[in-house]
Amino acid sequence: MTPCTKCGNVENIVRSGFIRGKQRLYCKGCNLYFTVTPPNPAAVKKSHQTTIVDIARVLGVSPSTVSRALNSSTEINENTRLEILRVANELDYRPNFLAQSLNRGETHTIGVIIPDIQRPFFAGVVAGIQKVATEAGYRVMICQSNESHHTETLNVQALVTSRVDGLLISHSKETNSFEHVKLQLKKGVPIVHFDRVCVEVDTAKVIQEDFLGAFTLTEHMILQGYKRIAVLAGPSDLLISNTRIDGYRAALEKHGMKIDENLIYYSNFSKDDSIRALDFWLNLPEKPDGIFTIHYANGIELIMELKKRNIRIPEEIGIVAFGDELIASLIEPSLTVFHQFPFTIGETAASMLIENIINKDGFAPYTKVIKGELIIRKSSLRNKSSDITPIKHRF
Amino acid sequence: MTPCTKCGNVENIVRSGFIRGKQRLYCKGCNLYFTVTPPNPAAVKKSHQTTIVDIARVLGVSPSTVSRALNSSTEINENTRLEILRVANELDYRPNFLAQSLNRGETHTIGVIIPDIQRPFFAGVVAGIQKVATEAGYRVMICQSNESHHTETLNVQALVTSRVDGLLISHSKETNSFEHVKLQLKKGVPIVHFDRVCVEVDTAKVIQEDFLGAFTLTEHMILQGYKRIAVLAGPSDLLISNTRIDGYRAALEKHGMKIDENLIYYSNFSKDDSIRALDFWLNLPEKPDGIFTIHYANGIELIMELKKRNIRIPEEIGIVAFGDELIASLIEPSLTVFHQFPFTIGETAASMLIENIINKDGFAPYTKVIKGELIIRKSSLRNKSSDITPIKHRF
DNA sequence: TTCGTTTCCGAAAACGTTTTCGATAGTTTA
DNA sequence: TAAACTATCGAAAACGTTTTCGGAAACGAA
C-alpha cells in the first residue's frame, strides 16, 4: 500500500473517497488526509518572460533592490544599479504591466468610446487622442458603441473593469439616459465628454461651435438670397442636433424670416432618411430652395440624389452642411461646409482627461469649445460678389 | 524620552540617525531600531471598488468561496452561491481585471498595430477586428505607427509590456527589418500579419489578391485598348507594392506588350509624389495613355490634377487604382478600382489570431487570401461593349 | 455501526511588482 | 572614540484574484 506522507507508516492508512478524480487516503495515526500524486515526470518549467526575481537570482540580490535599480531610486548604490541594469538588458527584461498596475492602482490607460471608428470624424478624433496620450505615457483602449445605447453601456463596464484611469465618451445617437456614466462618475472615474456630450452630467466637455456653425451656415444662405431653407436634422434626442437647429432658427430670426416647422426633418442620419426627407420637401406646396444638413454625409447623399433627379445645384436647390471631409471638396459641385477639426478635438479632450486624472481631487469640470470655419464652395454659391468672405460672428 | 516599542524602557534608547526624514532610535537593551511615527490622525480608509474580500467579509466566508461562486465552480453549494451573487450584485462588484490577468497569465486583450487609423482602409480593418474580438470576449488595443519604423518598434514593445495575448500587425511603409517581431515570436507571442505582411517571418497572414488584382486591372486596361500603361507604385521596400507591380508585368507579358521601366514610378504615396510622377511621365517622349495606381488615394489625386490641367479622362489618359472608397464612386469621373474588403480582412485576421492564442502549441501558420473585385467605372471605360463584365481570372 | 464516499469550504500559495520598515556596515562628528 | 549619522540593502506586506490541497461534515452502503 501507499505509506503516509507524514509518518511513512502503512498500517493506519484507509481510503477516503475520491477527490477531483484521484484516490484519496487518510492516515489514522497522523490524522492526515492526502492524495497519491504521480511524481509528474515532466515537470517542465514554463519558459516565461524574465521577471525581477530572475534578475535578483542571477545577481544574488533581493527583488526590492532590483526594483529600486529599475525605478532609479536614490536608495541604491550606483554600481549595483548599473550591474542590475546590465543584467536586465541582457535578459531583455520587460516590466509586467499588470503587476505594476495592480500594485500602483493605476493602469496608465485611457478608455475611449465612440459610435463608429469608420467615420472620418471619429477616426480623426482618435488620432488626436492617441497623439496626446502617447506623449503623456498613456495607452489608449478604443470601444465602438455602433450607435447602440446598450453596447455603449457594456463598453463603459468593460473599460471600468479593465481599470482604465479615465474615460473619453462621445455618446451614441440612441443614448437618452446617462445612468451608466453617472455611476462611474460617482465612483470617482474621471470622465471627459466630447462632441456628443450630455448636459445632465457634470463632466468636463469638448464641444464644437454647434450653434454658431449652424448660424453661420444659415446666414450664409440667407445672404446668398435663399428664401426657404430646410434642415435635415438628426435624432430629436441628440443634443448637438438640437443645438444646431437652434443656430438655424436664430439666423432666420435675426433676418426676420419666419420659421416653417415643415422644413425641419428629423432623421437618423441614414441615407434612406435623407431621401425620404427630400421626397417630403419636394412634395410640399412651397418647396425649399436651400437645404442645411446637420451631418455632412447627408449633404453628400443629397447632392448625389439631386443630380440623379436632374435638379440643378445651387440654382434650384442649394446645399450646406455641418462637418467636412475631403470628399466634400472633391464632389461636383463641391459642398459648402462648416469645417470642424476632429484632430484638435481629440487632442483637447485627451489633455483635459489627463489633467483630470493627474489632479483627481482638485479638478473642476469645464467646457472647451473648438472653433470651426465656414468654407464656401459651389453647392451654395449663387452670388459670388456679396458673400465671398466668411462672416465672423462671435456671440 | 520615547520608550522602546518592545521593552517599553527608556534608559537604553539612543538616537541613531535620520531615515527618510524621521528621527530614528535604537534600544541597546532590545537591540532594536525603530522610528517614531506620529499616530496618523486621519487614517482615512480609501473608498475603493468592492473586492472579493469585501464580499467575503460581509458573509463571513473565505475569499476562495466567493471566487468559486463568481466563477460558477461546481465545488460550491447552490444556496451559498446565490447568496454571494446577491451580495456581489448589491455591492456592484466588478472583478479586477488586472488581478485576474496577473493570476491567469492572460489578458484577453489583443494588440493591433496599423500605420494610420485615419485611412479608411485601416479603420475598416479595425472595425472588423473589433467585431470578432468582442464576440470572442477579447479587448482590443490599437497603436499607430504613423508609417514610422521606430514608432512601430515602440508599439510592439508597449503592447508586449501590456501583456497582450497576441499581436495583429500591418507594417509601416518604412519597415525593412523585422527583428522586433522575430523577437516576440521567439518569446511565444502569437502574431498575425495582415495586408502589409512580411515574408521572412513565419507568421499567419491575411493578404489581399495583390497580384491578381493588379493583373486584372492591367488586363482591363489592355482590353480597353490602352497601349502605354504607367504604374504609380509605393516605396520599393514595400512588399504589397512589388507584388502588385508583378501583377502588372504579368498582364503586359500575357498580352505581348513590352515593359517600359520608365513607366514604373516609385513613390511614398504622398500627393506631391503623385504629381511629380505625372510631370515625369508627361515629359516623356512617349507619354502614357493609362495609369495604374497602387493606392486608390493617389488615383483620386491624379484625377483632380488631370482635370486641373484639362486633360480628359479617360480619352487622353485613363486611370485605374487598387483599393476602393466611397469617394472613388462619387468623384467625376468615377474611378475604376479593384475593390478590397477591409472589414473582412480585419475579421479574418482577428479570428486567425484568436485561433492561434487558444491553440498556442498546435497552431501552424497559414496564409489566407481575401478576394477582391474589379469595379469598372468611368475613369477607364473607353469601349463600353467589349469589357463590361469583370474578367474572372483565378490562377 | 463503520468504512468508504461525496460535498462543501478554508488556508495558503501564486502571479510580479512596489513600498514600508528595519537592519547593517561604514563614516562623520563631537 | 563613542555617539550620531548615512548609504545601502533585505524581508515582508500589499495589490485582488485563482487554484491547489486538505479538512470536516454529511451521506451511503455493507
- Average pLDDT per 10 consecutive residues for chain B, totaling 395 residues: 68 73 74 65 56 92 92 83 92 92 93 96 96 94 95 93 94 92 90 94 95 96 94 92 94 93 93 94 93 95 93 94 90 93 97 93 93 94 60 34
Supply the pLDDT for residue B385.
56
CATH 3.40.50.2300 matches B109-208+342-370: yes
pLDDT given at position B47: 52
How, if at all, do strands A336-339 and A373-375 pair? antiparallel
Give A38's pLDDT tier (boundaries 50, 70, 90): low
Residue A42 has pLDDT above 50, yes or no: no
How close A192 comes to chain B (CA, Å)? Answer: 20
For residue A44, pLDDT over 50 is answered with no
Q: CA(B125)–C1'(D17) in Å?
A: 34
Residues of chain B (96-135) having a beta carbon less than 7 angstroms from strand D: 96, 99-100, 102-104
Nucleic strand D under 7 Å from the C-beta of B52: yes
Q: From the C1' of D6, which residue's alpha carbon is nearest?
A: B17
**What residues does each domain of chain A span?**
13-98, 109-208+342-370, 210-340+373-394
CATH of region B13-98, choose from 1.10.260.40, 1.10.10.10, 2.40.50.140, 3.30.43.10: 1.10.260.40
- CB within 8 Å of B169: residues ≥ 6 apart: B112, B113, B156, B181, B191, B192, B193, B194
Separation of A33 CA and C8 C1' (Å): 16
Rg (CA), chain B: 32
**How distant, in Å, are the alpha carbons of A353, B158, B239, B246, B284 from that of B260?**
56, 45, 21, 13, 12
Mean pLDDT of A216-231: 95
Q: What is the pLDDT of residue A45?
A: 45
* The domains spanning A13-98 and A210-340+373-394 adopt the same CATH topology: no
**pLDDT computed for residue B221 by the predictor:** 95
pLDDT, residue B384, reads: 64
* pLDDT for residue B21: 66
- Per-residue confidence (pLDDT) for residue B30, from 0 to 100: 72
Q: For residue A41, is pLDDT > 70?
A: no
Is the per-residue pLDDT at A51 higher than 60?
Answer: yes
CATH class for domain A210-340+373-394? alpha beta
Of all residues in chain A, the percent with pLDDT exceeding 70 is 92
pLDDT of residue B115: 96
C-alpha to C-alpha distance for B119 and B355, rounded to whole angstroms:
27
Query: Which residue's C-alpha is at the least distance from the C1' of D10?
Result: A62
Q: Which range has the worst mean pLDDT, A16-20, A251-255, A299-303?
A: A16-20
Whether residue A188 and residue B160 make contact (CB cut-off 8 A), yes or no, is no
Contact B162 A140 (CB under 8 A): no
Residue B393's Cα: distance from chain center in Å?
31
% of chain A with per-residue pLDDT over 90: 70
Secondary element (H or E) of residue A213: helix A210-223
Residues 88-117 of A with CB under 7 A from strand C: 93-96, 99-100, 102-104
Mean pLDDT of A336-350: 96
CA distance B190 to chain A (A): 14
Strands B336-339 and B373-375: antiparallel
Q: How far apart are CA A31 and CA A13, in angstroms?
A: 10
Stretch A261-281: mean pLDDT = 93
Res A329 pLDDT > 60: yes
pLDDT exceeds 60 at position A391: no
Which pLDDT does position B332 carry in this prediction?
87
How many A/B residue pairs have CB atoms within 8 Å?
99
Nucleic strand C within 7 A of Cβ A14: yes
